Amino acid sequence: VQQALERDYLRLRQAESRYRLLFQTSAEPVLIVDASSRRVREANAAALRRLSLAESGVVGQPFSALLAQADREAGVAALN
C-alpha cells in the first residue's frame, strides 16, 4: 500500500511539473481566475508581458481590475 501511494504521489508531481512547464512556456497569455471570487490565481509569463505587470501585481487581483472600464462588463460576462 505504501509503495502504491508513493507511485501515485510521484505521478502527481510529474504531472504538476509538466503542467507548470507548459503553462509558463506558452506563447499565449493565460490567466487562471477563481470562479467564485473572480480573482486571478495564476498568470503565465505571456500574460504578464501583455499586461505589462509583475506577477505580484496580478495574482490576487480582481479579474475586472485588469480590464479597461469599457471592457469590464463584457469581460465579467465571459466568465459566466
Q: Which amino acid does the sequence have at 14?
A: Q
Within 10 angstroms of residue 51's Cβ, the number of other Cβ atoms is 16
pLDDT at 47 over 90: yes
- pTM for this model (two decimals): 0.76
- In this prediction, residues 63-67 reach a mean pLDDT of 90
Give the DSSP H/E element, type plus range, for residue 31.
Answer: strand 31-33
Beta bridge partners of 25: none
- In this prediction, residues 15-42 reach a mean pLDDT of 94
